[in-house]
Structure 1
């Protein structure tokens, strides 16, 4: 049997590796004096960014004694400091853990211990979270304070000092190691249908290739949202969430001006958009809705602002409202496990010229087409592919160079994720003959509220702990502000009296204790005598949702 021809390399030929450091190197080639802006607090150029990354590398390896392969966590708002961590930590051979500060304290503790964090860079606002966990963080040895004012803080935690003061004492040059491109660079945790978050991880190679994919899809294609080096980027998706969708790496690669808003506040976000002339952002629908509904928004000119929406479906009304303000809005699709971008709305100028506003809105809210290098298909339960006929419904499964290879320290769920050799998204969809994806349902009954996952199974477990509850089922129901909110069907025990407020107070004790996040507490309860079941006795959530929809 014939085999591909492989020639041995010239002995002195260099085998280049795809490393995150190569992304940072590009920032000095064309526009080294472009700025990275943090709120109304600081401005640094790319020249300064590169020096600060080197200082942070020295701080990590010399002062904090971080070794290759160890995990270093960031617990911060969106900032230039976080961007420096995006590069310096993986570039010294360590793993960056992006902590989701919206998780409950117990979930945050689980991720810190599961990821085996050795060092945590923590914003002053989040010190109380870590202080409450002190003595239970198994491998954390050192904590660095992140302070917008530069002031020190008193804390029972083992603080090494304040970030800026520590950087000042470090050299601004560093010889970074020549790492293998398959070395793990980042990790973070995604919540789903179980109470314990799942750790996903990405290599240097995957992050570089995802950056190339985004650059091609948004830079080379004639699309409604098209970007280049002259754009001004500001994330409105947290940097702890899937590398802010990979855009900070893309913006650095292209040498864009970057703007980091810190804590998300509508007035500050709009101020930065206008003052810094932001042209490209991404966010979940809830954030866009908040900005569109802001009292000041009608007095602003937003016609140069391009926004990619993801995390939840883009409601048609919101798309129309954004278009009415001149915002160029499209939909992106992906998930934590996919780095994340898999598809984007494709709407070129030639197509737009022949569409009504309503037809254009219909295309903008669809899931889009797979971007370059993404093999996206529909699969049935038997592992068979389904046709792209706009009618056949199946689970979206994917292959791409940047997908997580599994869940960290969880072989069983990793095998389930990659069943049949394709990554299973859990999303149910149809695909038109022209490749446009339309998601119709979710395979599992997680609830996505404001871009955050809520486990219906966990809520059911906690509600059932009320002494007067006999049985419960939690499903997602549409919500104008948050896209989805949990609604609980409850069967009360005989001869008991229970109200909505009783159950809300019952659930709030779990948010107070850190078992669940405050946004996960249901506010809608429906008392019934029986919960619909399937023929084998399982709760029939599909039927529940259908009945609720028919009532509405």
Structure 2
């Protein structure tokens, strides 16, 4: 739109390093912490994200797309996507409350081509589409916040959707990496390759770099010009966040030879049992393959002999109720194949009607762990 000199608004210049936003982390594993970002950081993140999504195969955000976010606007700049959509001049649809029928109506009426959200939202959308008997061809969705399983990815692709996983956190403003297409049909559900201007590495407890062979696992550390510089008002946590000159994500990851990151678990969610480190995310990915399991979260509970032991909190499907024995029988197959340790077999399975979630849709493992340690059964069908 052309604006004449007479109509042009007065714009007061300011320092690009001036504070632009502050908000709190979601606190799924600990207490929420405040983070902050400057105007310059938001611009650099937007430009890097645009370069990443505009120059790749498969899922991308480009001129002509119709954008509809399915993440809360208050959480991590809505993943920075509204800034990018505005920069590209895209038509934008904001659906309000996340009611699946309304989302599907908006998608159809407005020709939505790009959305982003957590896997729970994707699962909700797929359930609504199945109930209404509609396909979702031409709809792209970027997934983050928790692991994207192969089964959920397959279900989305079967409806005609294009999906990819991404990785980031409140402290990173948020996008660090996005899954890319390759010969492996599941490469897009990995945490992905770093977007422009991001450096990533995996390190041990002494900050020694580990090999990028997709086998070694260590804490993911990152650098980029838009990462939060500190936790305002918390100097000890800020020093720990930037120990050694890298931002410590507290996520355990591996990196392959092509530079693709795969998050293996949260540092606080890794279960230490009998000298073994057990990935709760790996167990969840295997347990969800049981036909009677609709949703699952695995946490470690204290054990006098083994330090910690894994317990699965399960939401059953409408067609069946999985037993502790049946799930362990499934896991035993993967023990025999060498995919997991025998220490990963579950000590218990708790059936619940619903898993507790944070305001942004993540499973709240902190609450689950507290409930289990207190020997309670929240929402349990067995209670």
- 1:328 alignment partner, one of 151, 158, 162: 162
Taking a change above 3 Å as real, the CA distance of residues 258 and 482 of structure 1, as seen in their structure-2 partners, is farther
Matched, 1:267 2:101: yes
Contact 2:29 2:268 in 1 (8 A): no
Contact 1:399 1:423 in 2 (8 A): yes
- 1:197 alignment partner, one of 24, 29, 32: 32
Q: Give the structure 2 partner of residue 417 of structure 1.
A: 241
Q: Secondary structure of 1:293's match?
A: helix
Unaligned runs of 5+ residues in structure 1 are 1-27, 30-46, 48-171, 448-474, 492-503, 505-510, 512-516, 529-552
- Alignment of structure 1 residues 32-431 onto 2, 5 Å: 174-192=9-27, 196-221=31-56, 223-294=57-128, 296=130, 299-347=133-181, 351=182, 355=183, 359-360=184-185, 362-431=186-255
Query: Which whole-Å CA distance do the structure 1 matches of 2:213 and 2:368 have between them?
Result: 39
What's the offset of the Cα at 1:300? 2.3
Contact 1:485 1:522 in 2 (8 A): no
Q: Secondary structure of 1:269's match?
A: helix
Taking a change above 3 Å as real, the CA distance of residues 292 and 387 of structure 1, as seen in their structure-2 partners, is same
Contact 2:30 2:366 in 1 (8 A): no
- 1:437 alignment partner, one of 261, 271, 279: 261
Contact 1:489 1:527 in 2 (8 A): no
What's the offset of the Cα at 1:192? 3.2
Q: Give the structure 2 partner of residue 118 of structure 1.
A: none
Q: Secondary structure of 1:270's match?
A: helix
Taking a change above 3 Å as real, the CA distance of residues 295 and 217 of structure 1, as seen in their structure-2 partners, is closer
Greater Cα radius of gyration, structure 1 or 2: 1
Contact 1:193 1:445 in 2 (8 A): no
Contact 1:289 1:481 in 2 (8 A): no
What's the offset of the Cα at 1:393? 1.4
Q: Secondary structure of 1:294's match?
A: helix
Query: Which whole-Å CA distance do the structure 1 matches of 2:85 and 2:173 have between them?
Result: 16
- Alignment of structure 1 residues 10-21 onto 2, 5 Å: none
Q: Secondary structure of 2:93's match?
A: strand
Q: Secondary structure of 2:191's match?
A: coil
Contact 1:345 1:364 in 2 (8 A): yes
CA offset digits 1:257-300 (Å, max 9, x no partner): 00001111111111111111110000000110111112655632
Contact 1:285 1:312 in 2 (8 A): yes
Contact 1:346 1:369 in 2 (8 A): yes
What's the offset of the Cα at 1:485? 6.4
Query: Which whole-Å CA distance do the structure 2 matches of 1:487 and 1:377 have between them?
Result: 27
Q: Secondary structure of 1:252's match?
A: helix
CA offset digits 1:340-397 (Å, max 9, x no partner): 11000111xxx4xxx5xxx41x212211111111001111111121221222211110
Aligned Cα RMSD in Å?
A: 3.2
Q: Secondary structure of 1:301's match?
A: coil
Q: Give the structure 2 partner of residue 106 of structure 1.
A: none
